[in-house]
Amino acid sequence: MSNQLADPLAVAEVSQRVLEILHRYRRGNSFADVGDNRTIDGGSRARRLSTLEAKIERFITCGQRVHFVIPAFPAKSPNRTKVLGELPDLGERISLGFLQSICDYVGHFYRPGAYLTICSDGHVFGDVVGVSDRSVTAYREQLTRLIEAESWPSLGMFGLDDAFGSRDYPKLRTVLDRDYAVPIEDLKSRVRTDDHARSLFNGIQRFMFEDAVSMRGKECSRTKLRNAAKASAYHTILRSNAWSRVVADRFPDAIRLSVHPQAPHSEKFGIHLMRTGDQWLTPWHGVVLDDGENVSLVRRWEAEKIDATAVWRDGRPSHFVAPHLGIKSMKGLST
């Protein structure tokens, strides 16, 4: 493709605009001082020239479409106190539309535009979190149909079967563990010594524990459930990191997005897919609540607690509405 932006100043300007878009939706610290040659923390442009920015500038210098990848949209949580069912609903629809809009925004000021590959990771760790391969496949098929029905041209799907050319998912997970996962003791050491690794572990363990209490709380003690959640969290992170290595091998130049909060100088960039009061909540762990003023993610039990009404679309539940409730009445539900 022709080198449309050979001028270094033009390349830097477009790169800054891409960064501005990403930082509007960042999970974690807010972005400040964009456009005046200072970084998030007020340093020089030389300090700001991170792996993320270097990747963005490489696409722009070559006049190529900016490529994002995001490991996300695995499957609905098996905890039905959090979600409405096992298939995509309004949360996925809004979030996918948002990801398309990110690419549209880039195309507004950079003619080649952008595209995004969703690296669906449900088959990667479904066995750990209690979701069957059948449910993962059904979820992904519905996502693909939704993308096609809405004609979102910048979105594509990539999964474990695409990476290894097989649908023998138990065998593929064995390959993933053998060839791409680090020893569990290495992960445990990182969790003990690295603040970001510990935060990620605590967040995932909390979700695991919530699900375990909801689904098995009457048959097991909380201590036993907490220990099981801890083991599952380690296993999930091991698999997730292994999948990240597969994604990095397959898409080495792509800009890595994440649905989890990320450290400021991480190779991944954490973004919110839609409004929520919980830094860890995603469409596959929650439901959409339309309160008449805002549309946001909450857990199903939180919507039912305020007597919100379930709305159905295409023969299945889609989201909740509680008109005129106002966001102030939701304070404390998803924090």
The pLDDT assigned to 213 comes to 86
Give the type of residue at 174. T
| Structure tokens given for 252 | 């080495």
Report the alpha-carbon distance of residue 293 to residue 335 in Å, rounded.
19
The pLDDT assigned to 268 comes to 86
Report the alpha-carbon distance of residue 98 to residue 25 in Å, rounded.
10
The pTM score is 0.87
The pLDDT assigned to 6 comes to 56
Q: What is the enclosing helix (H) or strand (E) of 93?
A: helix 90-109
Question: What does the DSSP assignment read for 136-178?
Answer: HHHHHHHHHHHHHHHT-TTEEEE-HHHHHT---HHHHHHHHHH
Give the type of residue at 86. E
* Rg value, the chain, Cα: 20
Report the alpha-carbon distance of residue 30 to residue 270 in Å, rounded.
11
Report the alpha-carbon distance of residue 332 to residue 278 in Å, rounded.
10
117 φ/ψ angles, rounded to the nearest 5 degrees = -105, 120
295 φ/ψ angles, rounded to the nearest 5 degrees = -115, 120
Give the type of residue at 223. T
Report the alpha-carbon distance of residue 152 to residue 103 in Å, rounded.
10
Domain boundaries in the chain?
8-178+249-276
Which among 19, 16, 17, 23 is positioned nearest to 271, based on CA atoms?
23
Report the alpha-carbon distance of residue 262 to residue 52 in Å, rounded.
12
Q: What is the chain's pLDDT, residue by residue, as a tens digit (335 residues)?
A: 444 555 777 898 999 999 999 989 988 643 333 333 334 444 433 343 477 888 999 999 999 999 999 999 999 999 999 999 999 999 999 999 999 999 999 999 999 999 999 999 999 999 999 999 999 999 999 999 999 999 999 999 999 999 999 999 999 999 999 999 999 999 999 999 998 889 889 989 998 898 888 887 778 888 999 999 999 999 999 999 999 999 999 999 999 999 988 877 778 899 999 988 887 899 999 999 999 889 999 999 999 999 999 999 999 999 999 986 554 445 545 44
Report the alpha-carbon distance of residue 256 to residue 241 in Å, rounded.
13
